[in-house]
């Protein structure tokens, strides 16, 4: 079988580092044969790495999709507010699509993409990478085996990590719902997807609370300048001092590459980025408006309840899920890559490791790579069913996130059936 030929639209962090590397490891299955990005540095980086013919390199997705179809599929890895248009255009051209989450920042646009894909008969997989991580596949397998009986309640915590919040949701790309999307969609559409998938039933009602409590001007220390490099008198005691966090050799490649916008983030480029770019701003003086903590209570069919928490104020990026069943209790830590299952009959607790030997822990517990592997399988007709995040399923879990945001803002309990009907009327 010939390898699947893919065009990467948006050669940023996700396009370049999360998904395209699968082609280098598996050239018999996937080849990156085109790239579109206005940044010459990123485009060139991708062209050289994947040996892409120069005539297949474009300065925008628009220019790339103007050409009659010349590959099997596209990876849409542009920013949140730049998914709808390339997705609609790619569907029209007949490309299958690996579409970054969120599908789109409004419920209406999500539904329009879903409908267009269905009508055109193209496959669209949404990048809910956690569903492809060994850890959550194991959780799902245990639940489906009946080992812990029927699910009664789930307690799920998304620990964003204080530094991650400061980077992405205070200073960075996802800090303002007007320019990206609400945080429950940007960050936690993955969690809504996991919950819907693991429970295997529809969400019936929900309510939510949350706000931007800390990363705002109210908490700005006296005399702090707008940029960390402008002689901040609080530099030594501020955990978010940009020079300290970005220019340290301990900072991960991902943060350094994102802060500089350069796949080769040298110390010189980092200092320049901190001095002049968005990542050098005082975290208490940014244009951010997304929440730093939020809770959602959800009810699913069959009297299943869920308490979901997303909060910035945690030392590490982590997801912890506790599933309370009629016959047993499951606790999982994605960071530790472990699941503990307690049987109520025997009282015995079994510890299960979930590290994926093939993909390792990097990239969402191996989910980034697992997603591309399954995208190839779906296109080859080798994988179907609810293990993959086909757009129809993803649209449903996105609607839960949109409803949660509406509840948080309006202070009301949302009935999902009514909410969905209201959304359908808008399409």
Ligand X SMILES: NC(=O)c1ccc[n+]([C@@H]2O[C@H](COP(=O)([O-])OP(=O)(O)OC[C@H]3O[C@@H](n4cnc5c(N)ncnc54)[C@H](O)[C@@H]3O)[C@@H](O)[C@H]2O)c1
Nearest CA among 97, 182, 110 for reference residue 396: 110
Q: Of the two residues 60 and 216, which places its CB atom closer to ligand X in the complex?
A: 60
Task: Work out how close the CB of 323 gets to ligand X at its nearest, in angstroms, rounded to a whole number.
Answer: 22
CB 74 within 8 A of CB 101: no
Interface with ligand X (CB under 6 A): 9-15, 36-39, 42, 60-61, 77-80, 82, 100-101, 127, 129, 173, 186, 364
Nearest-CB residue to ligand X? Answer: 12
Q: CA quadruple 142, 144, 149, 154: dihedral positive or negative?
A: positive
Q: Which is nearer to ligand X, 63 or 424 (CB)?
A: 63
- Least separation in angstroms between residue 188's CB and ligand X is 11
Give 82 or 324: the residue with its C-beta nearer to ligand X.
82
The nearer residue to ligand X, 330 or 395, going by C-beta atoms, is 395
Shortest separation between residue 148's beta carbon and ligand X, angstroms: 27
Separation of alpha carbons 361 and 316, rounded Å: 15
Nearer to ligand X, 10 or 328 (CB): 10
Q: How far is the CB of 406 from ligand X (least distance, A)?
A: 20
Cβ 254 to ligand X shortest distance, Å = 9
Contact 389, 128 (CB under 8 A): yes
Tell me the closest approach of the beta carbon of residue 371 to ligand X, in angstroms.
Answer: 8
Q: Specify the residue, 10 or 265, whose C-beta has the smaller distance to ligand X.
A: 10
For ligand X, which is the closer residue by CB, 8 or 403?
8
Q: What angle do CA 276, 10, 271 make, to 5 degrees?
A: 20
* Residue 7 bridge partners (DSSP): 34, 74
To ligand X, the closest distance from the beta carbon of 338 in angstroms equals 21
CB of 382 to ligand X, least distance (A): 22
Q: Which CB sits closer to ligand X, 151 or 369?
A: 369
Residue pair 6/31 in contact (Cβ under 8 Å)? The answer is yes
Contact 397, 184 (CB under 8 A): no
**Min separation Cβ 61 and ligand X, Å:** 4
How far, in Å, CA of 411 to CA of 400, rounded? 15
Are 331 and 322 in contact by the 8 Å Cβ rule? The answer is yes
Handedness of CA 366, 367, 368, 371 (dihedral sign): positive
Q: Report strand pairing: 30-36 vs 4-9.
A: parallel
Which residue(s) pair with 203 in the sheet? 300
The whole-angstrom separation of Cα 400 and Cα 108 is: 13
Q: DSSP 3-state assignment of 212?
A: coil
Shortest distance (Å) from residue 248 CB to ligand X: 21
Short-list 386, 362, 356, CA closest to 138: 356
The distance of closest approach from Cβ of residue 142 to ligand X in the complex, given in angstroms and rounded to an integer, is 24
- Both tokens of residue 258? 């994102």
235 prior amide bond cis, ω within 30: no
Choice between 40 and 351, CB closer to ligand X: 40
Other beta carbons less than 10 A from residue 240's beta carbon: 20
Residue from 175, 179, 164, 160 nearest 212 by CA? 175
- Long-range pairs for 41-44: beta carbons < 8 A, 24 or more residues apart: 41/261, 41/262, 41/263, 42/11, 42/12, 42/16, 42/261, 42/262, 42/263, 43/11
Indicate the residue among 82 and 116 with the shorter CB distance to ligand X.
82
Which value, to the nearest 10 degrees, does the dihedral of the CA atoms of residues 403, 409, 410, 412 take?
50
> Which CB atom, from 159 or from 232, has the smaller least distance to ligand X?
159
């Amino acid at each position: 079988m010939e390898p699947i030929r893919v065009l990467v639209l948006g050669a940023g962090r996700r396009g370049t580092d999360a998904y395209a590397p699968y082609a280098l490891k598996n050239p018999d299955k996937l080849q990156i044969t085109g790239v579109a990005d206005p940044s010459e540095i990123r485009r060139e980086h991708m062209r050289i790495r994947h040996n892409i013919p120069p005539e297949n390199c474009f300065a925008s997705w628009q220019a790339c999709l103007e050409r009659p179809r010349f590959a099997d599929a596209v990876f849409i890895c542009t920013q949140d507010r730049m998914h709808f248009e390339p997705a609609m255009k790619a569907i029209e051209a007949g490309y299958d699509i690996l579409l970054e989450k969120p599908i789109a920042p409004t419920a209406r646009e999500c539904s329009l993409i879903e409908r267009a894909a269905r009508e055109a008969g193209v496959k669209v997989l949404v990048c809910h990478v956690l569903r492809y991580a060994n850890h959550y596949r194991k959780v799902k397998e245990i639940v489906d085996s009946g080992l812990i009986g029927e699910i009664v309640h789930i307690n799920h915590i998304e620990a964003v990590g204080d530094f991650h919040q400061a980077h992405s949701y205070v200073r960075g790309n996802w800090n303002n719902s007007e320019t990206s999307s609400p945080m429950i969609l940007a960050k936690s559409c993955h969690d809504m997807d996991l919950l819907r998938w693991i429970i295997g039933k529809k969400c019936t009602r929900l309510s939510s609370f949350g706000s931007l409590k800390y990363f705002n001007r109210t908490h700005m220390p006296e005399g702090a300048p707008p940029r960390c490099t402008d002689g901040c008198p609080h530099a030594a005691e501020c955990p978010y001092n940009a020079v300290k966090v970005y220019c340290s050799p301990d900072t991960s490649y991902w943060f350094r590459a994102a802060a500089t916008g350069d796949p080769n983030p040298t110390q010189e480029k980092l200092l320049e980025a901190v001095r002049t770019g968005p990542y050098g701003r005082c975290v208490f003086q940014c244009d951010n408006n997304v929440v730093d903590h939020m809770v959602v209570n959800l009810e699913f069919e069959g009297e299943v309840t869920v308490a979901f928490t997303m909060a910035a104020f945690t030392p590490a990026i982590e997801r912890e899920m506790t599933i309370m069943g009629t016959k047993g209790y499951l606790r999982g830590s994605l960071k530790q890559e472990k699941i503990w299952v307690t049987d109520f009959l025997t009282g015995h607790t079994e510890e299960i490791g979930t590290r994926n030997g093939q993909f390792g822990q990097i990239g969402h517990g191996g989910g980034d790579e697992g997603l591309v592997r399954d995208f190839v399988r779906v296109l080859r007709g080798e994988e179907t069913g609810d293990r993959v995040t086909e757009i129809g399923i993803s649209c449903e879990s996105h609607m839960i996130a949109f409803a949660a945001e509406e509840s948080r803002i309006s202070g009301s309990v949302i009935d999902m059936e009514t909410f969905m009907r209201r959304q359908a009327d808008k399409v």
